[in-house]
Amino acid sequence: PLVGKIPFSLLKRLFMAYLVVFIDGWTYYQSSLYFISSETKSWTESRRYCTERAADLIIINNREEQDFVKNISGVAKVWIGLTDIEVEGRWKWVDGSTLTSRFWASGQPNNYKGKEEDCALIHSPGWADFPCNDKHKWICEKSVLK
């Protein structure tokens, strides 16, 4: 059989990279668990929900993760762990890292109509800045490697 000829380490990597399973509402993908809310909260309340569950708002590291999140969130606007609340225009992830991969929608971020829009969400086809007190769904992420 073919399985006996494939190294276990390769099978494990493939399994971990592509398998999506559901555990108590959490979705597994590429060494992380993701939770998509069904209710809406402000960005701060959403983050608190995540941290109370040993997770945080999602940090999107690459195009694959961006596409995965768009697929599982559908058309909903969902908070992500990105904010420029400390310094306007300096976007940082919730872990303190600076933004490298950028998936802003056209014309974003824009502080629309002069509003303070210091928190980011996925708003198809990309990210958008919104007021942090607006209520939206959110996505928590927790690494299974930590």
**What are the tens digits of pLDDT across the range 40-94?**
999 999 999 999 999 999 999 999 999 988 888 887 799 999 999 999 989 999 9
Span 125-144, average pLDDT:
94
Give me 9's structure tokens.
């380490």
22 inside domain: no
Q: What is the CATH number of the domain that holds 128?
A: 3.10.100.10
Q: How confident is the model at residue 53, as a pLDDT?
A: 93
Nearest 10 degrees: CA dihedral of 15, 20, 29, 38? Answer: -170
111 inside domain: yes
51 inside domain: yes
Domain count, the chain: 1
120 inside domain: yes
Q: pLDDT by residue (tens digit) across 89-133?
A: 899 999 999 988 789 998 898 877 767 899 999 987 899 999 999
Give me 26's structure tokens.
């959490």
Residue 138 reports pLDDT greater than 70: yes
12 inside domain: no
The whole domain housing 62 covers: 37-143
